[in-house]
Amino acid sequence: MVELKTNQSIDAMYEAGQVVGQALTAVRKAADVGVSLLELDEVAREVLRDAGATSPFLGYRPSFAPVPFPAVICASVNDAIVHGIPTGYRLRDGDLVSIDCGAELGGWAGDSAISFTVGSARPADVRLIETAERALAAGIEAAVVGNRIGDIAHAIGSVCRAAGYGVPDGFGGHGIGRKMHEDPSVPNEGRPGRGMPLRHGLVLAIEPMLIAGGQDGYHAAPDGWTLCTNDGSRAAHAEHTVAITQAGPRILTAR
């Protein structure tokens, strides 16, 4: 069931979204050569604790997962697309890192993700990340009253495909509100003018995922959570929680 949020609820979701933005900003600032993924997870935990927020990631266990998720961030490095479990791995010069984070505050959830490089950036990685951000911006621009879910999907997919990147099949964004994952699903590729109409009060997590090698294939790592590219090429992920309003899209996780 799709729940349309009131203006007051959207304001409350903005507060949760700001905690997410603060956590991602702190993690990115802390990320450097030699820093472990577990240390980055602790940075995010501290931000959530200080804000009085909890994590919708910690302990989350969907049907495909062999174990509950053990962290408050997903930390996906290089060929990992999404859902990476933070480990003792220490970042190396040139790594491409995607961090996904959520927060629950006052009964409402926020969800956002960023990708960045550590140390010396490869030009190809810079292009990949910039394209992920452009795809996200295109999806947000299409998130207006009167459009449909397919318009968001088409906007994202068009940017990704024009740049020659792959789009992981079956993964995309989602509704968000009282829970981190709600209806409807928001594909990262689709036909314009199709799908559910966008109405004032609908809140979506819009999240393009790009594979540098141009193929769409992926597989689950042995941990059962991390999704990795089949061709070993690098991946990037960008996400914002966005409210659809009569005044236009409102980014609730703006940093």
Instruction: Tell if the pTM clears 0.95, that is, is over it.
Output: yes
The answer to whether residues 213 and 78 touch, using CB atoms and an 8 Å cutoff, is no
Encoded tokens for 13: 């979701």
Query: Which regions of the chain are under pLDDT 50?
Result: none
Give the C-alpha separation, 240 to 243, whole Å: 10
**Can you give the pLDDT at residue 204?**
98
